[in-house]
Amino acid sequence: MEEWAVGVDLGRTKIALGLIDPQKRIVRHRRLPTNADAGAQSVVERIAQSVDELRHELPATARICGLGICTPGPVDHETGVVGEVHEMRGLHHAPLRAMLADRLGLPVSLDHDAKAAALGEYHYGAGRGEPAMVYVVVGTGVGAAIVVDGQVYRGVRNTAGEIGHITLNRDGALCPCGSRGCVETYTSGPWLARRYQHRCERAGIVETATAPATGESVTARARQGDPIALQVLYEAGQALGVAVASVAMILDIELFVVGGSVAKAGDLLLAPARRTLLEYSYRSVGTRVRILASEMGEDAPILGCGWMACERRP
Amino acid sequence: MEEWAVGVDLGRTKIALGLIDPQKRIVRHRRLPTNADAGAQSVVERIAQSVDELRHELPATARICGLGICTPGPVDHETGVVGEVHEMRGLHHAPLRAMLADRLGLPVSLDHDAKAAALGEYHYGAGRGEPAMVYVVVGTGVGAAIVVDGQVYRGVRNTAGEIGHITLNRDGALCPCGSRGCVETYTSGPWLARRYQHRCERAGIVETATAPATGESVTARARQGDPIALQVLYEAGQALGVAVASVAMILDIELFVVGGSVAKAGDLLLAPARRTLLEYSYRSVGTRVRILASEMGEDAPILGCGWMACERRP
């Protein structure tokens, strides 16, 4: 029998499922609304119905070897229980792994979405064949998942990779975390928008400043040549470069793959990051380290979940 | 037979040997001049003669199970060959492990001195019973060795833990590494001295400023209440605290043990580091992380070498 896998990226608003063939291609995609307010049982049932439907599409020679699922926010990969995820109250403390395993009769793995994305990117994307990789998510926040020898490095409480709160400037902007000048105050979507609006106001560009700006809208404006948007993205990339330099020197890892919504800015973000990495590290480190865009994009967590379900060493 | 070990800390000017009993006490200490200019064969012969003498002091029921040796600078722990260590030209590229093993008929382990000290501190000192620990050496430079599950985390090229060049201030002093505002430009001995002299000159304290100041002399003056020395040490501690916060958030490790010559300043350095750690990290991280002074001091590398020789998993 061929071994196929199911990967499930359970997000705040939508659930993305993928049926993964033995060549690690996602041959079927499905999307469902998350609707976490309806409770864990309802979420599990909707996922399970989709899996049941996907099972009918399998070739006769194939079987599903397992299902991997990932969620944002804290999650206990050992017990398979979801933590308290912002905006997903209906799933707080749900034993999601056991519920899905019972309903589907399949082995189920559960992990954090950035870790799943890192595993997908490492095993099937930009990290293929590398000894180690740091996957950096730049979106609403800035986080990272560290992969060494094909496994996630977790630290003592499974919180390793909290790079969004590395201090870049002790006199910098006050971060909601209580510290100042954190990476997130430069590089995350909400702060990109905030910095953009602030600069526009300062420049007296009232019309633009009153329009709601998000990280994505700043990127869109930068693409159209808006000099303030370009500058804000440039500074975000510089901050990312300093953070990458620090992480590279601490971990001695040479590949950084950047994903997440803000990473869609591509080289507008990554080119200044690469330049700054060279400036703010040992030269020997700076010249060895590569900062690449994610290859797998939104498929990364689904593929990582498939890997967790069927390939991970116990 | 009881298993005893020999640990050897091979420094730039002196070699410190220790005979370690099964209770992990150093029951005999010996010191020799390094005199690396005489060449590797001479260094090996002097170490071996000391080991031969120590063997005569063993109880009849004891045998030496192995010898561990550590050196400053780059070293290949897998091949047992010393790299190009500054001020130790006579040992460049010496296959020190094989030379000692052949001469002594013992299993020999070779590693970097900070890594050996970290292992000593982790297994027998401040790190006992902890899941993980970062050993920070504050001396001529600032470096760290990371211990996870009792083993050194090395990274892909065995250079992990390069925390001395984390950027604390992008507009800070130019570091010899080519970057700016590195941890070392605040916290290392030479920079402590430099900052002290500069402040004295600026304050018009010519008499003090013309005296040669080292990291140790700055510490001594701080102990006597010199306000400039106290301020410079305070700022060094703050820089250390920011660096510890970053490393703790990246690695999710909660114990930092600080050794090295500047660490002898004790709480003059560590108290501001602890305060700053709380300010410049997630509160949940800052309150969990402890910064402790080394318990084993100069015995740490010797004990770590003993552990490498006789306790390390192959």
Q: Do A253 and B166 touch (CB under 8 A)?
A: no
| Residue of B84, B158, B251, B276 to mutate, interface with A, max A Cβ within 10 Å | B251
Q: Are A215 and A262 in contact (CB under 8 A)?
A: yes
Q: Do B170 and A169 touch (CB under 8 A)?
A: yes
Strands (DSSP E) contained in A72-220 are 75-76, 81-82, 108-112, 132-138, 142-148, 151-153
What's the pLDDT score for residue B73?
A: 86
Q: How far is A265 from chain B (nearest CA, A)?
A: 24
Write the residue in B132, B163, B242 that is nearest to A156 by C-beta.
Answer: B132
- In chain B, residues with a C-beta closer than 8 Å to the C-beta of A83 are none
CATH class of segment(s) B126-294:
alpha beta
**Among A33, A22, A29, residue whose Cα is nearest residue A7:** A29
Q: Which amino acid is at B275?
A: R
Cα dist from A101 to A7, A48, A52, A67, A129, whole Å: 14, 10, 13, 8, 32
Q: How far is A286 from chain B (nearest CA, A)?
A: 10
Q: Does B241 touch chain A (CB under 8 A)?
A: no
Handedness of CA A231, A235, A240, A241 (dihedral sign): positive
- In chain A, residues with a C-beta closer than 8 Å to the C-beta of B159 are 249, 252, 285
What's the pLDDT score for residue A4?
A: 97
Q: Does A158 touch chain B (CB under 8 A)?
A: yes
Q: Does A109 touch chain B (CB under 8 A)?
A: no
What's the pLDDT score for residue B205?
A: 81
Q: Do A156 and B131 touch (CB under 8 A)?
A: yes
- In chain B, residues with a C-beta closer than 8 Å to the C-beta of A272 are none
Q: Do A158 and B252 touch (CB under 8 A)?
A: yes
Look up residue A5 and give its two tokens: 């896998």
| Residue of A280, A283, A287, A290 to mutate, interface with B, max B Cβ within 10 Å | A280
Look up residue A291 and give its two tokens: 């900062």
Handedness of CA A243, A245, A251, A253 (dihedral sign): positive
The C-alpha atoms of residue B114 and residue B259 are separated, in whole angstroms, by 9
Q: To which CATH superfamily is domain A126-293 assigned? A: ATPase, nucleotide binding domain (3.30.420.40)
Q: Does A157 touch chain B (CB under 8 A)?
A: yes
Q: How far is B277 from chain A (nearest CA, A)?
A: 10
Write the residue in A177, A250, A285 that is nearest to B163 by C-beta.
Answer: A250
Q: Do B246 and A249 touch (CB under 8 A)?
A: no
Average pLDDT over residues B20-31: 96
| pLDDT, chain B, mean | 94
Q: How far is B171 from chain A (nearest CA, A)?
A: 10
User: Residues of chain B with pLDDT > 90: what percent?
Assistant: 89
Q: Which pLDDT band holds residue B211 (cuts at 50, 70, 90)?
A: low
Q: Does A84 touch chain B (CB under 8 A)?
A: no
The C-alpha atoms of residue A1 and residue A28 are separated, in whole angstroms, by 19
Write the residue in B159, B245, B252 that is nearest to A155 by C-beta.
Answer: B252
Neighbours of A309 (CB within 10 A): 26
Q: How far is A281 from chain B (nearest CA, A)?
A: 6
- pLDDT tens per residue, chain A (314 residues)? 899 999 999 999 999 999 999 999 999 999 999 999 999 999 999 999 999 999 998 999 999 999 999 999 899 999 999 999 888 999 999 999 999 999 999 999 999 999 999 999 999 999 999 999 999 999 999 999 999 999 999 999 999 999 999 999 999 999 999 999 999 999 999 999 999 999 998 988 865 555 668 899 999 999 999 999 999 999 999 999 999 999 999 999 999 999 999 999 999 999 999 999 999 988 788 899 999 999 999 999 999 999 999 988 66
What's the pLDDT score for residue A304?
A: 98
- Domain map (residue ranges) of chain A: 2-113+298-310, 126-293
Q: Report the residue of chain A nearest B161, measured CA to CA.
A: A250
The C-alpha atoms of residue A254 and residue B109 are separated, in whole angstroms, by 28
Q: Do A252 and B156 touch (CB under 8 A)?
A: yes
The C-alpha atoms of residue B147 and residue B30 are separated, in whole angstroms, by 28
**Among B168, B175, B167, B164, residue whose Cα is nearest residue B142:** B164
Neighbours of B240 (CB within 10 A): 30
SS3 of residue B29 by DSSP: strand
The C-alpha atoms of residue B179 and residue B41 are separated, in whole angstroms, by 39
What's the pLDDT score for residue B307?
A: 97
Q: To which CATH superfamily is domain B2-112+298-310 assigned? A: ATPase, nucleotide binding domain (3.30.420.40)
Q: How far is B278 from chain A (nearest CA, A)?
A: 9
Q: Does B136 touch chain A (CB under 8 A)?
A: no
Strands (DSSP E) contained in B127-203 are 132-138, 142-148, 151-153
Average pLDDT over residues B129-149: 96
What's the pLDDT score for residue B219?
A: 94
Q: Report the residue of chain B nearest A282, measured CA to CA.
A: B177
User: Residues of chain B with pLDDT > 70: what percent?
Assistant: 97
SS3 of residue A34 by DSSP: coil
Q: Does B160 touch chain A (CB under 8 A)?
A: yes
ipTM over 0.95: no
Average pLDDT over residues B59-80: 95
Q: Report the residue of chain A nearest B157, measured CA to CA.
A: A252
The C-alpha atoms of residue B157 and residue A131 are separated, in whole angstroms, by 10
Q: Do B282 and A253 touch (CB under 8 A)?
A: no
The C-alpha atoms of residue A34 and residue B301 are separated, in whole angstroms, by 55
- Is residue B167 over pLDDT 80? yes
Q: Does B165 touch chain A (CB under 8 A)?
A: yes
Domain A2-113+298-310 carries which CATH code?
Answer: 3.30.420.40
Q: Do B252 and A170 touch (CB under 8 A)?
A: no
Q: Do A166 and B246 touch (CB under 8 A)?
A: yes
Q: Does A255 touch chain B (CB under 8 A)?
A: no
- Is the fold of B2-112+298-310 the same as that of B126-294? yes
Q: Which pLDDT band holds residue B283 (cuts at 50, 70, 90)?
A: confident
- In chain B, residues with a C-beta closer than 8 Å to the C-beta of A280 are 167, 170, 179-180
Write the residue in A246, A254, A279 that is nearest to B246 by C-beta.
Answer: A246
- In chain A, residues with a C-beta closer than 8 Å to the C-beta of B166 are 246, 249-250
Query: Considering only residues 37 to 66 of chain A, which have any Cβ-Cβ distance to chain B shorter than 8 Å?
Result: none
Q: How far is B84 from chain A (nearest CA, A)?
A: 16
Write the residue in B165, B252, B279 that is nearest to A154 by C-beta.
Answer: B252
Q: Do B283 and A178 touch (CB under 8 A)?
A: yes
Q: Do A249 and B157 touch (CB under 8 A)?
A: no
What is the per-residue pLDDT across B218-245, written as a single tens digit (0 to 9) for each? 999 999 999 999 999 999 999 999 999 9
